[in-house]
Amino acid sequence: MRILICLMALVVPGVVLADGVPLKNGRYAGKVLTFSLTPEQRAAADRFRTCHLAHFRETNIYTPYVFRLSKEQAEVVRRAVGFAPSRFDLYETYRGFNDSGPHWNLALRYSAERFEVPLELLLRDHAASAAEREQGWKNTNPCFPLSGPNNSSKPTPLRGAA
């Protein structure tokens, strides 16, 4: 009996935590704002997929919060909730991506041209930065040097990156 309890204690939390963001057909199940991707955001999404996610073993120590809203999109978010986070984590849900979390400040790309921002998952920048530190991520990302304080305009080459 003790062995069964120990096994359940190990397995059940993993199952509960592996649920990911609540989606229905790739769309968030709660209140969202939807936007069209700008050409810059489309390029950033491609870079995130081909650099950060493609080299996940190397890049997992860096923040995934590198996606930025346009000024106009940020203003829509600000009007809706009173603030607009400066950086988001991009999930390409139309490609089947749904991480197990934790979840805050998400941009869910549900089609090649559109994404949505779940309003109930938004954190102000100071709370989001604290959450990133709690995860142990470095606040820079070699795939997106402008996302952090080093402000270099060129991505840092990763071993084997194209």
The Cα 111–Cα 95 span in angstroms is 8
Contacts (Cβ under 8 Å, ≥6 apart) of 139: 63, 129, 132, 133, 148, 149
Q: pLDDT tens across 49-69, in order?
A: 898 888 888 888 888 899 999
Residue 121 confidence (pLDDT): 96
pTM for the structure as a whole: 0.77
Strand partners, 36: 114
- Tracing tokens 């986070």 back to the chain, one arrives at 85
Q: pLDDT tens across 20-48, in order?
A: 889 888 899 999 999 999 999 999 999 98
DSSP structure class, residue 80: H
